Amino acid sequence: MENMGIQQLGFFLDSEIYVIPEELHLLVDLGKDSTLSSENPLISMVSEPGLEETEEQEFSLEFEGGFEKGVLIGFEGNELYEVHKDLLFKILGAVGCSLKDIALTNSIHIESVSMDSILALGPSKIILFGLFHHDIMSKKINNYEIRQEDGVEYLFADDLGQISENVALKKSLWTALQILFNITKK
């Protein structure tokens, strides 16, 4: 069996064979063996110089808004209920922001891009409402605690649905936003 070529092995192997990158050089060395046919597409493909792995395609983050002030806001779920959207825009108005100043996106869009894609936008502040299955959660200390790293300020809060129903959470959010946006009580 050790002396069999790929064609002979193909007679009794009924499933695909996968080559791991670490063993690719072994297959290339086998391709130089005269017992293997140079017409074999697998050998010719592996032996071709300049064959490179395709890199994972990088996607850009989809969002709504003008992002003029560099504030990225993410919310858990696919879309905001009208009551939660009203609450969010009241909060934004209180800190001097509107839709033209922010990038508003959902957890599905955030989870579909890399951390590098998010940082490539150049946000100065990132505010996330709810839970996200993304590397960005590694920046979280506790809800309503601001963390600054590499010129970006991060604020994590509860889901907008929970905040809308709980006065204590609204107060915690407002306190954190006052610090984040340098709002002083007059």
Q: What is the DSSP string of 4-31?
A: --HHHHTTT--S-----GGGHHHHHHHH
Q: Which CATH number fits the domain that encloses residue 75? A: 3.40.470.10
**Residue 53: strand, helix, or coil:** coil
Per the structure, the count of domains in the chain is: 2
Same domain, 108 and 151: yes
Indicate whether 16 and 91 sit together in one domain.
no
Question: Is 125 within the bounds of a domain?
Answer: yes
Q: Are residues 93 and 28 in the same domain?
A: no
Residue 65 falls inside a structural domain: no
* 33 and 96 co-located in one domain: no
Question: Do both 92 and 173 map to the same domain?
Answer: yes
- Expressed as residue numbers, the domain containing 29 is 6-47
**Domain assignment of residue 91, yes or no:** yes
pLDDT value of residue 1: 57
167 and 81 in a common domain: yes
C-alpha torsion sign, points 133, 105, 118, 143:
negative
The closest alpha carbon to 123, from 103, 106, 142, belongs to: 103
In the predicted structure, residue 2 carries a pLDDT above the cut 70: no
Pick the more confident residue, 102 or 52: 102
Q: For residue range 79-138, what is the model confidence (pLDDT) as tens digits? A: 999 999 999 999 999 999 999 999 999 999 999 999 999 999 999 999 999 999 999 999
Same domain, 78 and 166: yes
Question: Residue 33 domain-assigned?
Answer: yes
**Domain-embedded: residue 176:** yes
